[in-house]
Copies of this chain bind each other. A is one copy, B any other.
Amino acid sequence: MSHNTFGHLFRVTTWGESHGRALGCVIDGCPPGLRLTEADIQVWLNKRRPGQGRYVSQRQEPDAVRILSGVFEDDAVRARFGGQVTTGTPISLIIDNTDQRSRDYADIAASFRPGHADYAYFAKYGVRDYRGGGRQSARETAARVAAGAVARKVLGETVVVRAALTQVGPHAVDRERWDWEETARNPFWCPDAGMVPVWGAHLDTTRKAGSSTGAIIEVEAAGIPVGWGAPVYGKLDAELAAALMSINAAKGVEIGAGFAAAALSGEEN
């Protein structure tokens, strides 16, 4: 059994390896009549795009998305909706892999990187595309970002989802200095301007050491109506936890007060 699909009514199936021809996803269950162009998706992929600074992947490629199906536009549609819209049929998105630099993968082919899924894939399937991590590369998240851009269209304007990086290595932001605007002004999506140089220095040191570092991301969703999600096994908290935990290298998920809730006690109440 394999499982590359997420979601129930709005279902996303992703495909593609890091150094294959392309990667992409099929979105099944998107409502019809939503305005959707490639530019609507590209803006989010551009935020994710590698090669935009010395702190991220040096891979150089535009990650240009194409919509292959599920949208339509003619004079009547333009008159009624203002432009191209979703039709309710599967939306197929594709992103070509253009940075497949001819490289010698012989060393990777013969060894397994600690902390990666290399060995798990090999043990499970007996064969793997090891180039750049193959299917287990975090490049898979490009397809999630593309699908997420479409999901935002479904959510509309009243639900606002935004995120910030709040800790890198041992260095956490000062919440007293939190400024959402600041996240757009530095390469770390850091909401605390004072922390930016600290993280920069930390990452420089880490990279020189040939090592890596951990981090914490905080996502805020505002404007969520009461009752979203199914009860019990498909409850919103569970779905979010699964989605986040399925991202490469994610090792923990908290919602609301999270683990700090454990220490909350009625003694003082």
Chain A positions within 8 Å of B, measured between CB atoms, are: 1-6, 8-9, 11, 13-17, 20-24, 26, 28-30, 32-33, 66, 68-70, 72, 74, 76-77, 80-81, 85, 87-92, 94, 109, 117, 119-121, 123-129, 134-136, 140, 167-170, 202, 205-206, 209-216, 226-227, 230-235, 237-246, 250-259, 261-267, 269
Known contacts A242-B238, A265-B214; A4 and B232 CB within 8 A of each other: yes
**Partner pick for A231 among B6, B121, B238, CB 8 A cutoff:** B121
11 residue pairs from A and B, CB less than 8 Å apart: A1-B234, A4-B90, A20-B69, A21-B69, A80-B127, A88-B121, A88-B127, A88-B231, A124-B227, A140-B232, A213-B266
Question: How many copies of this chain does the complex contain?
Answer: 4
Looking at the assembled complex, report how far the CB atom of A252 sits from the nearest CB atom of chain B, in whole angstroms. 4
Known contacts A32-B125, A251-B261, A265-B169; A92 and B24 CB within 8 A of each other: yes
**Partner pick for A237 among B134, B233, B250, B257, CB 8 A cutoff:** B250
Contact in complex: B209, A266 (CB < 8 Å): yes
Residue of B nearest to A255 (CB): B251
The CA-CA distance from A255 to B242 in the complex, in Å, is 12
Known contacts A88-B2, A257-B251; A266 and B211 CB within 8 A of each other: yes
Which 6 pairs from chain A and chain B are nearest by CB? Answer: A211-B266, A3-B234, A3-B230, A124-B227, A242-B242, A169-B265
Contact in complex: A251, B245 (CB < 8 Å): no
Q: Is the interface of A mostly helix, strand, loop or mixed?
A: mixed
The CA-CA distance from A170 to B211 in the complex, in Å, is 35
Contact in complex: B126, A33 (CB < 8 Å): yes
Instruction: Please give, as numbers and ranges, the residues of chain B lying within 8 Å of A140 by CB-CB distance.
Output: 232
